[in-house]
Structure 1
Amino acid sequence: MLVGGVESLTKLAEKRLYGEVLNPLQAITEVNHHFQQFSEVAHIKTLSDKVAQIHAELATQITEDFKNVFTPGQQNTVKMSLSQLADACRVVSVLEPKVKRDLLKWFINLQLQEYVQLFHENQDIAWLDKIDKRYAWIKRHLLDFEDKFGKIFPLDWEVSERITVQFCHTTHEQLTKLMARRRVEIDVKLLLYAIGKTTAFEALLAKRFTGITLQDGGGAKSPAHEASARLHAARMPQSSSESPAQSETEEGIVKPVASPFTDLIGSCFKPHLDIYTDSIDKNLAELIEQFLQAKVPADPVARTTVFPSCADLFVFYKKCMVQCVQLSNGKPMYDLAMIFKKYLREYAAKILESRIPKLTTSYTPSSISTSMSLLTRDLQNLSTAAGQVIHSFLKEGEVARFTKEEIITICCILTTAEYCLETVQQLEDKLKEKVDAAFTEKIDLGEEKDVYHRIISNCIQYLVQDLETGCEPALIVMSKIQWQTISNVGDQSTFVNSIISHFKQTIPTIRDNLATSRKYYIQFCHKFVNSFIPKYINHLYKCRLTSVQDSNVLGCEQLLLDTHSLKTVLLDLPSIGSQVNRKAPASFTKIVIKGMTKAEMIIKVVMAPVIPANVFTEQFLKLLPDSTLVEFHKVLDMKGMRRVDQAQLAELFKRTAPKENLSLALDAVSSSTGAKLLDSPDGDKGRIKKLEKLIKKRLPN
């Protein structure tokens, strides 16, 4: 069979009857393969060599036949029909794989010969602005090829795909050289245009072809594409929100998912993506400048709780990130993250911190009217009231306060910083999710989050200081009242009404403008009472409630009533002036009760007689168990006892009190001495003169 088949096959091959050659060739090839184990037999070896020779002759002959048909200007010695060429291809499929590879390599290069010449780097049509013409050319050429010669090649040869793959490699090589030579001519608009057209073309290839020639080694792969293929293999798991086929950005860049054609051409643009990131840097700088130029609405009602610019910033960030993911998730994405960091700090400094109002000292009509009202409120003790007015008027005139509009601005800055803080965390998470694994650990927006934390803390502190400053005149009035001369206990004192009025004027504005930031509003309330209550107690220590010569405690009772009233107001501070009475947090209530109860206990101790001394000391330690020797002296001062007379009680306190309560009173004595110097008659004369000048200047004739 083998002998007869070899002779018959030789004759058929010479006559180019490829259709009749196919079956006997397959049979003889299989039989010859079976007899390879007997190759030491001379006759079998001869026949085997003859079969190999026929294979070689067929390979050479068929290759020449193809060249005769497809090479322009070739003088054909033998006229081959398309059907004969199709039979020849089936014969080639039986021959060594190298025959098919060499034939296809020659044929594909022939098909792309026109393209290489037409889009040579010296040609105007080769530049990026006409990149779509490259893809239009291959589309037309494939249609023409499949129409004329598509039936020649077996389907499993995937000739159209192979032509396309080689086109991609050639295009990648041409563009790489061209962009390296003409880099200075590339701007971001041109780069994104070229990338967009290329990515759309690669997406089209993913729909049109299977990519089998790339997967089975049938097509040559560039190192860049091999790296890209590994990257896409790692990206294959998709979230439910993503299309399994592709995704599309607002810039019109269509990105295929896990396609072997992805970046087959597009990887040539990767080295030039710094042009893109530099452009983003420039655009963000311009955006920040626009934010700076934008005027904040003068009418507080027209403002929102969050500056619109911060939403604009993060919308821009989102667009940039989505676009960059389409371009590269490697170093360009990391560079973009660094740019984001830069402008998060810029926004914080230039848009938020720079707009925090600065306090200025001013004299207001309200301070004058408030002080003048004090002149008529107490006919029983005109000299005392006048003294209060002098001090209060001077103090209020010098107090630096925020206006209502400035308070609203601070609240807006706080809520904007809070929005930024939350969004920066989301941005960091998304960047880490999208960036290549090699850069994940390098993405850290912790410093930027700290910046916005600091802005929030500063805003809260400014609000606390302003609210506290507004209470200062009333506290000074409290400390200057001649409590030991009060003859009856009535309603709460004017200074308490003043503080409550101040709360009702200021707190609702802050609460309304921090409505979306309840957490930080409560934090503001916490910080205020933590600061105000110790200050209230310090002013309480300055009060002279009784005297050694007079046992009148009506002043103590009045101040105790005032302190309790203030305690009640402070407990309701978060909801003061609100129609909705919302229960204050337990932690806030605990602070107020603890602090104001101490103030009440101080007054109760002052009401107690100092004789017998041991009973007084025990009472002091019972009501104020955590107090120090310094505070013990202050309570005795409130009772009008001279420091010389306090020595015996102080020694008793030292012997009775726990060791941790004992503290040197040196600081207290020195500060008390300084206070006395400030309150000297000469100081009062200077203040009276200042008051007279102010009245002449501010009051109408």
Structure 2
Amino acid sequence: MDIAQHVNNILEKMVISNSPQTELTNIEYINKIFPNEQSLSNIDEVLKILKDKIGVLDKEIREAICSQKTVEENGRKTLENARGLIINLSTVIHEIKNQAKQSEKIVDEITCNIKQLDNAKRNLTLSIIMLNNLHILVQGTFILKETAKKRQYGTASKTLQGILDVLKQFDRFKHIPHISKLTSDIDETCNQLGEQILGDFRETFESKNMTKSLSQNQIQLLAEGCLVLSILEPKYKRQLITWLVDLELVEYKALFQDNQDIAWLDKIDTRFSWLKKHLIVFEDKIGFLFPPNWEISECIAVEFCKITRQDLIQVMNNRFIELDVNILLPAISKATAFEKLLHQRFSGATIRQEKASFQSKNVFSGLITNCFENYLNIYVDAQDKNFDKLVNQFVEEQTKQSMNNQESTKAEIFSSSGKLFTQYKNCLIQCISLSNRLPLVLLSNTFQKYLREYAHKILQNTIPRVGSNVSLASSLSNTISNTSASGVFSAASSAAGLIQIFLKDLDNKSYTNPEIKQICSIILTSNYCLETTQQLEKKIQEKIDPSLIEKINMNVECDIFHGITSNCLQLLSHSVENSCEQALNTMIKTQWANMGTPIGHSQYVSSLILTCHQSFPLIRENLSDVPNYYHQFCQKFVEAFISKFISNIFKCKPLSQGAAEQLLLDAHTMKKILLELPEYKFINVGHNSIPSSYTNTVITGMTKAEMILKILLVPASPAEMFVENYFKLFQEKDMNEFQKIIEMKGIRKSESLTLIELFKKKMIHNYENKNLDYKTEIQISESEPNESGSISSIHSNRIKKLEKLIKNRL
């Protein structure tokens, strides 16, 4: 029993897998159930168990087959039922389609009938309307003819408007004879009506009847007649207005004929007074007859302006010899004021079409004042004389100020420059109000002329001349006349000539502090004039007629002011250079041959530092408003100073080892001083305003001086190594410079010739080998020793000690 239970448990736990790994053969299966002979004793029980399981499985299979048959039968029945339902549904859908087609046919028939009824109704309505309009047109034409005969213009205006509105609807039917004839009758009646109303006005306002006041019937007749003319073709309205305006201005034409004294410019306000009074009388007497949108008073005023313009042209031509600025300008001013008055009084509707581009401006502007444009050269000539007096006055004031020797605390822009440009502004505003064409070009030329006058007479003439009492007034006057005549060439050549005169006067001399302030004032004033001239040019170009914009060019004047500024900066630089000359001469005269190891920088360096620290703060303070010019001054000075410093180094010969070290220490000291010089005593924490171009110039120039002195510390023997070190240190190789270095070392002539020959060979070799990498070293580094030798460790150590000393000193 225990064995049977064991076998049964084994059978229940077995899981037959589909995977190849768990699949068992029959023999393995039997061996697993009966692992030994003893287990065969229960084979009958095992077989019974297996038969029972097989019986259970057969039963389950039979039940599954029976259930599948039942499901199949049920599905077949359901399918048959669905097929029957589909057939029935298809029949119903077919019937619905047939009924829909029948309904659609019925709807189409109904819609067609409705459309026919709508068309019939529309045609009937249109026919009724057209018949009604035709009736209105025929009846209106009859009424219009009757009212025209009886001069019932009020009724005629109402009828006429209706007729014209209805007549527009018959435009496409004018080919019909009856409509064509009716249209012709209406046109003829309108023409007769228009001529009749014009005739009524002429008859009413004949000369013999002008003294009589209008009766109430006449007022009503004419007012209603204007309503009719507003409806008729515009030509009748224009004819009436033209005739009426001419009639109103007959008296004006007679009073102000060109041979009358009252017609001259000095009595131009009499013309305007006449129009003001006449318009008041006109509006009070008959102005109310006309519709407001006719603007009859404005039409009279516009025609008055046109007549006045022509009259003034004629009278100015006839009496041109009497014309001067004292007569012309008041007349222009009064005419301009009158045009502004018209702008305030009237809408400008009658002339706005002609001046569409000026809709936001005064459309009356120029109606009268345009006549003065051809005579504005008189105005420009008068301004030329005023500017001449003004500049001469500036010269006198500047001369008195120089004679009084009034020293200001700081450089300032000359007040005369502000006065000059203020006068320019006033003239420009006045001229633009008169004309923006050729007169403005002429005025611009006058501005340019006196900008040149100011530049030469005021700015250049006030540049201090050291050691000379000779005035430049005569030479400057010649310069001005030449500049006015030949333009750029004379301006450039005169400026170049004058700067040479000043530099020659300044030779070996320096400016005093007051003179430096004076030059700084000239720089500030010249810069102000340059900027303001550019603004003036731009403003004139904005205001002038576009066709003349190319005639406005002030580049010559801008170049003159720029040249004066540049010259003054050069003079300041040259003055400071001269201040350093004594110290540099001391540098040359020093006995360098027997000098020992340095312990600090030389005395001449202290003198140079003192000179720079006295000059630069003063110039910087006075040019603080134009820092770019201060930096230009610094740039000019440092370029000239470094060139002279290097030139002086070559003059210091012969040099001992200690002298070369001393000069190297001096060069390091000057390099640091020059780098800080532009901001001396003005350095702000965390801010450096020194331009990079200046710094690069100092570093490049003073590094070259250091390289010259460092090569002097290299032994001349062996010669090949000396030449090699020169080529390493200097990016640009120069035979003359190399010879000067040899002379400074005091080398014998035979050795010098050897060095020069090696230098030439090295140059040829470098030229042939174009891929050779030239390299400039800022400091001499230690070289590895070789057979021929190099910068010896002794000299290398000396240079290190010297650099340490420089660092401690600085």
| Fold match by TM threshold 0.5 | yes
Contact 2:597 2:661 in 1 (8 A): no
- Does 2:179 match 1:72? no
- Which of 124, 127, 150 matches 2:261? 124
Q: Which amino acid aligns with 2:436?
A: N
Cα 1:629/1:57, change in 2 over 3 Å: closer
Match of 2:46 in 1: none
Q: Which amino acid aligns with 1:605?
A: I
- 2-structure distance, mates of 1:659, 1:324: 74
Match of 1:565 in 2: 669
Match of 2:344 in 1: 207
- 2-structure distance, mates of 1:126, 1:414: 54
Contact 1:21 1:91 in 2 (8 A): yes
- Which of 394, 402, 407 matches 2:516? 407
Per-residue CA deviations over 1:10-69 (Å, capped at 9, x if unaligned) read: 554454443344444555667788889669859985x77766665455445433433343
The runs of 5 or more residues in structure 2 that have no matched partner are 1-134, 470-505, 769-810
How far does residue 404 in structure 1 lie from its aligned partner after superposition? 2.1
- Which of 550, 573, 578 matches 1:464? 573
- Which of 481, 488, 508 matches 2:590? 481
- Does 2:287 match 1:178? no
Cα 1:103/1:39, change in 2 over 3 Å: farther
Match of 1:693 in 2: none
Cα 1:346/1:38, change in 2 over 3 Å: closer
Alignment of structure 1 residues 182-201 onto 2, 5 Å: 182-201=319-338
Q: Which amino acid aligns with 1:277?
A: V
- Which of 179, 187, 198 matches 1:63? 198
- Which of 741, 746, 754 matches 1:635? 741
How far does residue 600 in structure 1 lie from its aligned partner after superposition? 2.3
Q: Which amino acid aligns with 2:370?
A: S
How far does residue 521 in structure 1 lie from its aligned partner after superposition? 1.0
When structure 1 is superposed on structure 2, of 447-456 and 7-16 the one drifting more is: 7-16
- Which of 410, 415, 422 matches 1:315? 422
How far does residue 610 in structure 1 lie from its aligned partner after superposition? 1.8
Contact 1:503 1:576 in 2 (8 A): no
Match of 1:153 in 2: 290
- 2-structure distance, mates of 1:561, 1:302: 39
Secondary structure of 2:593's partner? helix
- 2-structure distance, mates of 1:125, 1:605: 97
Alignment of structure 1 residues 4-15 onto 2, 5 Å: 12-15=147-150
Cα 1:148/1:304, change in 2 over 3 Å: farther
Cα 1:659/1:410, change in 2 over 3 Å: farther
- Does 2:725 match 1:619? yes
When structure 1 is superposed on structure 2, of 493-502 and 29-38 the one drifting more is: 29-38
Match of 1:656 in 2: 762
Contact 1:474 1:496 in 2 (8 A): yes
- Which of 522, 525, 544 matches 2:631? 522
Q: Which amino acid aligns with 2:585?
A: I
How far does residue 574 in structure 1 lie from its aligned partner after superposition? 0.7
Structure showing greater radius of gyration is 2
Per-residue CA deviations over 1:315-353 (Å, capped at 9, x if unaligned) read: 222222222222222222222222222222222222222
When structure 1 is superposed on structure 2, of 119-128 and 263-272 the one drifting more is: 119-128
- Does 2:548 match 1:443? no
Q: Which amino acid aligns with 2:365?
A: T
Secondary structure of 1:258's partner? coil
- 2-structure distance, mates of 1:43, 1:479: 120
Alignment of structure 1 residues 297-446 onto 2, 5 Å: 298-301=405-408, 304-360=411-467, 399-446=508-555
Cα 1:30/1:592, change in 2 over 3 Å: closer
Q: Which amino acid aligns with 1:431?
A: I
Cα 1:643/1:24, change in 2 over 3 Å: same
When structure 1 is superposed on structure 2, of 331-340 and 161-170 the one drifting more is: 331-340
Secondary structure of 1:484's partner? coil
Q: Which has the higher contact order (CA 8 A, sep 6+)?
A: 1
Cα 1:459/1:118, change in 2 over 3 Å: same
Match of 2:706 in 1: 600
Cα 1:302/1:137, change in 2 over 3 Å: farther
Match of 2:382 in 1: 279
- The Cα RMSD (Å) is 3.3
Secondary structure of 1:214's partner? coil
- Does 2:646 match 1:646? no
The runs of 5 or more residues in structure 1 that have no matched partner are 217-225, 237-256, 363-396, 547-551, 663-701
Per-residue CA deviations over 1:455-486 (Å, capped at 9, x if unaligned) read: 22211211121111221222122111111233
Cα 1:72/1:398, change in 2 over 3 Å: closer
Contact 2:170 2:179 in 1 (8 A): no
Per-residue CA deviations over 1:599-652 (Å, capped at 9, x if unaligned) read: 223223223332222232233333334342211221121122344541122112
Cα 1:124/1:489, change in 2 over 3 Å: same
How far does residue 561 in structure 1 lie from its aligned partner after superposition? 2.3
Cα 1:30/1:507, change in 2 over 3 Å: closer
Contact 1:361 1:401 in 2 (8 A): no
Secondary structure of 1:212's partner? coil
How far does residue 210 in structure 1 lie from its aligned partner after superposition? 2.4
Secondary structure of 2:553's partner? coil
When structure 1 is superposed on structure 2, of 571-580 and 157-166 the one drifting more is: 571-580
Contact 1:407 1:463 in 2 (8 A): yes
Per-residue CA deviations over 1:478-520 (Å, capped at 9, x if unaligned) read: 1111112335634432211221221122222211111111111
- 2-structure distance, mates of 1:259, 1:183: 30
- 2-structure distance, mates of 1:327, 1:570: 58
Contact 2:145 2:189 in 1 (8 A): yes
- 1-structure distance, mates of 2:185, 2:700: 110
How many residue pairs get aligned? The number is 588
Q: Which amino acid aligns with 2:516?
A: I
When structure 1 is superposed on structure 2, of 112-121 and 579-588 the one drifting more is: 579-588
Contact 1:621 1:657 in 2 (8 A): no
Q: Which amino acid aligns with 1:653?
A: F
How far does residue 302 in structure 1 lie from its aligned partner after superposition? 5.4
Secondary structure of 2:413's partner? coil
Contact 1:627 1:661 in 2 (8 A): no
How far does residue 595 in structure 1 lie from its aligned partner after superposition? 1.6
Contact 1:545 1:555 in 2 (8 A): no
- Which of 576, 588, 591 matches 2:680? 576
- Which of 648, 654, 658 matches 1:554? 658
How far does residue 532 in structure 1 lie from its aligned partner after superposition? 1.0
Match of 2:608 in 1: 499
- 1-structure distance, mates of 2:308, 2:458: 47
